[in-house]
């Protein structure tokens, strides 16, 4: 079983180009299924699993209190695993064919208003190197909508000053180019001129954003920064790591941006992922209508 799982992992890494965290998730889910087989279907081999066994596994997970999202994710991993084994000729039939995952109730992402974003961006003190770094970082995040993991892994060479864009690496190592505006460029230039040289210790780290030790800022460090400034700004609602990313997308669409362009900037492989933001804009329109129309 373990040899099969490792072969599958190599396939996902080399041919599908999946990120490390996704590889870990897929292989962990397959091992969970193996554990279930050993406990409840001891006579059944991974290579001879029947459709009914996978249905029983889904029921077992639901009765064990697993969330709908967990059941759906594990079925997705099994589906990918058995599709691979079927293509490789390791199994004669794919037991996951036509199995439907439980329907997920999509949660709308948390989006800040334009006023809240402006208050958040104004919190760092640009008279200090750390404050100037934070202002530049938050401005760039809101200007581009990139993921937190993408912004902390930016290097100085990833910024094109002449054309005003950054080159970032998203999920699966895929590269994309995202433009940024004049305000973000202004703060980035100030940071690189006045703050980064004071933060850099060795002068050899290529990271765009450095911490107080002169090393690349981490995701956890960035998240602490955002939470601190959100408290200072008096934003009472819970702020998630992707809040500025969600706000970037929603504010663009509210102001008439093309959905396909927003999809490209966010790095979504499927436009249905981007379409959730159109639902947010429709929801906001209904709220405005309900507040403003005398016969609402």
pLDDT, tens digit (0-9, with 9 covering 90-100), for 82-124: 999 999 999 999 999 888 877 765 666 678 888 999 999 999 9
147, 196, 246, 251: which one is catalytic? Answer: 147
Go through the domains of the chain in sequence order and give each one's CATH number: 2-87 (1.10.150.130), 114-291 (1.10.443.10)
Q: How confident is the model at residue 268 (pLDDT cuts 50, 70, 90)?
A: confident
Q: Is 245 a catalytic residue?
A: yes
Give the Cα separation of 284 and 193 in Å (integer).
41
Phi, psi of 253 (to 5 degrees): -65, -35
Q: For residue 121, what are the contacts with CB-CB under 8 A and spacing of at least 6?
A: 135, 138, 139, 142
191 is catalytic: no
Residue 228 is among the residues annotated as catalytic for this protein: no
Say what the pLDDT of residue 171 is. Answer: 73
pLDDT tens for 189-235 read 999 999 999 999 776 789 999 999 999 999 899 989 999 999 999 98
pLDDT at 108: 61
Degrees to nearest 5, angle at CA 167 with 164 and 171: 145
pLDDT digits 0-9 by tens, 45-55:
888 899 999 99
Which of 110, 194, 242, 284 is the catalytic position?
A: 242
Q: Which of 171, 215, 216, 219 is catalytic?
A: 171
Residue 282 annotated in active site: no
Convert the pLDDT of each residue in 240-250 to its tens digit.
778 888 888 88
């Amino acid at each position: 079983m373990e040899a099969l799982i490792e072969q599958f992992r190599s396939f996902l890494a080399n041919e599908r180009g999946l990120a490390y965290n996704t590889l870990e998730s897929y292989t962990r889910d397959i091992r969970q299924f193996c554990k279930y087989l050993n406990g409840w279907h001891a006579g059944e081999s991974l290579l001879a699993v029947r459709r009914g066994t996978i249905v029983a596994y889904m029921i077992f997970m639901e009765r064990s209190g697993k969330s709908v999202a967990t059941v759906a994710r594990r079925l997705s991993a099994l589906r990918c695993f058995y599709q691979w084994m079927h293509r490789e000729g390791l199994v004669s039939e794919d037991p996951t064919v036509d199995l439907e995952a439980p329907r997920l109730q999509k949660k709308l992402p948390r989006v800040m208003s334009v006023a809240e974003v402006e208050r958040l961006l104004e919190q760092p003190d640009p008279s200090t190197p750390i404050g100037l770094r934070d202002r530049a970082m938050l401005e760039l995040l809101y200007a581009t909508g990139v993921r937190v993991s993408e912004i902390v892994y930016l290097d100085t060479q990833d910024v094109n000053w002449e054309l005003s864009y950054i080159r970032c690496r998203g999920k699966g190592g895929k590269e994309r180019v995202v433009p940024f505006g004049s305000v973000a460029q202004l703060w980035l230039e100030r940071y690189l001129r006045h703050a980064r040289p004071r933060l850099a210790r060795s002068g050899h780290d290529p990271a765009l954003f450095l911490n107080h030790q002169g090393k690349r800022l981490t995701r956890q460090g960035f998240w602490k920064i955002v939470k601190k400034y959100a408290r200072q700004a008096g934003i009472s609602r819970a702020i998630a790591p992707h809040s500025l990313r969600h706000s970037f997308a929603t504010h663009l669409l509210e102001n008439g941006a093309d959905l396909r362009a927003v999809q490209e900037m966010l790095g979504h492989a499927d436009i249905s992922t981007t379409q959730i933001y159109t639902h947010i804009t429709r929801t906001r329109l209904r709220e405005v209508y309900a507040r403003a129309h005398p016969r609402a």
